[in-house]
Amino acid sequence: MKYLLALDQGTTSSRAIVYDGRCRPVATAQQEFHQHFPQPGWVEHDAGEIWKSVRATAREAVSSAGITAADLAGIGITNQRETIVVWDRRTGHPIAPAIVWQDRRTADHMTALREAGQEALVQNRTGLLLDPYFSASKLHWLLRAVPGARQRATAGELAAGTIDSWLIWNLTGGREHVTDVTNASRTMLMDIRSGGWDDELLALFDIPKAILPRIAPSSGDFGTCDPALLGTAVPIHGVAGDQQAALFGQLCTDPGLVKCTYGTGCFMLLFTGPDAVPSRSRLLTTVAWQIGNAPMQYALEGSVFVGGAAIQWLRDGLGIIKSAPEVNDLAARVPDSGGVVIVPAFAGLGAPWWDPSARGSLFGITRGTTGAHIARATLESIAWEVADVLGAMQKDSGRRITALRVDGGASASDLLMQMQADALGVRIERPRNVETTALGAAMMAGLGAGLWKNSDELATVRETDRTFICATTAKDRRAKLKIWRKAVKRARNWTEES
């Protein structure tokens, strides 16, 4: 039997999972690494430390699976997106700390570009919005801040890339400088329709093309890892950014299928097939994947800043629960929220409102309100936030969505998932294996290695744990939505001058 090794390089830890030929996890290893906050709003990683954590977890997972590298059909990589590394091609050493996706240091640069009227070009070409989140302004910043970097980049002495690219460089002993199209689509430098680096955007951000990696399909050939890593050379066959890997791991491979990951925030992606659907609701249009030489596939993406984080606030801020799972017992003590509505806009509101001046709000409190009502209202608020993003997706794509596939830590809550089904009026499907990110990378690698001919053959490996069916009427749903919308309206424009 052949195995697959998925390397899941996240924002706070690196994980390696060995899967068997039926995509069942056999062994896992995980290592956290340091977060650096040198100034307010800045977030950096040590790319060297990230590589060491990936190497160590890869070795540990293979060894605890009781297999050797010769048993592996391929390696799949999935990674934190947008984070950018610049390194010296000769020594392989980073020239500066990696700038992490969360880093806001280039906010002023982005505001200047918006004021200069560049947002339409960027949105049309890349599907993204002018925000420091994406890689381009971070790379621009690095090339200016590190003395001599701009000249060395033009001379071809430096290499840049997102974390996938940095890992492949190291895995292949510096032989491959390549990225996949999903990661490239988050740099703000790629034309999402042609799949190539865009000269106009490179000029806008003053980035020499010589510094950038080759762009390859997400499933295919990314070179072979150095035998020194695992004892035998193993081919790298799959690469995708974390959210795209999760979409694939959920097998959302037919247009109209959508997944939502309930972590600290909630990330929703709607697969739109070969159509790059432009958004009128300020959602992102992004590359979903490209399998071999088949045409590129796309998705609409929307995120909610505060998802499971609202439950963490009940635990750490209010202290009414001791652990996140306890929220379910507390909320179950009451049949409804007793008229309490929470808008968890702790950091403003994201899609589809985009209101940075909104703030968290609690409405409808009476003398009879208890912690249980607040716990219940908190879970409901996550469901409503997700419903708003899904509503925007339906509007932008012109598709009626009938099911939502869920994963992530908070998807473990049966109560939240039932609330989600009730808020949306659609079926919620929770897979047995909610580790969909690593699974998606393994599936991409398996396809690249030829273990399966196409994604249809993968359908048999997806096992549903539980389905939640909507138990409300459309009338009831509309009435509740109206109350939620009223609360959102009141939470908005809070920090603005009146």
Q: Which residues of this protein are in contact with ligand ADP, per CB under 6 A?
A: 263-264, 308-309, 311-312, 324-325, 327-328, 408-410, 412-413
Tokens (6 digits) for 294: 């088949």
Q: Is 182 helix (H, G, I), strand (E, B) or coil?
A: helix
Q: Which of 126, 137, 255, 130 is nearest to 195 (CA)?
A: 126
Minimal distance, residue 109 CB to ligand ADP, in Å: 27
Nearer to ligand ADP, 71 or 380 (CB): 380
Task: Check: CB of residue 451 under 8 Å from CB of residue 23.
Answer: no
Nearer to ligand ADP, 57 or 285 (CB): 57
Residues sharing a CB contact under 8 Å with residue 151, sequence separation 6 or more, in sequence order = none
Beta strands in 153-199 (DSSP E): 158-162, 178-180, 190-191, 196-197
Residue 461 burial (CB count, 10 A): 18
Minimal distance, residue 167 CB to ligand ADP, in Å: 19
Minimal distance, residue 220 CB to ligand ADP, in Å: 28
Beta strands in 57-181 (DSSP E): 72-79, 84-88, 98-99, 158-162, 178-180
Minimal distance, residue 464 CB to ligand ADP, in Å: 19
Minimal distance, residue 410 CB to ligand ADP, in Å: 4
Q: Is 261 helix (H, G, I), strand (E, B) or coil?
A: strand
Minimal distance, residue 328 CB to ligand ADP, in Å: 6
Nearer to ligand ADP, 265 or 364 (CB): 265
Task: Check: CB of residue 430 under 8 Å from CB of residue 468.
Answer: yes
The label of the residue with tokens 């017992």 reads 329
Nearer to ligand ADP, 281 or 437 (CB): 437
Nearer to ligand ADP, 19 or 262 (CB): 262
DSSP label at 237? E
Residue 25 burial (CB count, 10 A): 17
Nearer to ligand ADP, 229 or 412 (CB): 412
Minimal distance, residue 430 CB to ligand ADP, in Å: 12
Nearer to ligand ADP, 324 or 347 (CB): 324
Minimal distance, residue 407 CB to ligand ADP, in Å: 8
Of all residues in the shown chain, the one whose CB is closest to ligand ADP is 409
DSSP calls for 329-393: HHHTTSSS-TT-EEE--BTBB-TTT-BTT---EEE---TT--HHHHHHHHHHHHHHHHHHHHHHH
Q: Where are the alpha helices (DSSP H) in 29-134?
A: 47-64, 107-115, 119-126
The whole-angstrom separation of Cα 252 and Cα 44 is 33
Nearer to ligand ADP, 244 or 413 (CB): 413
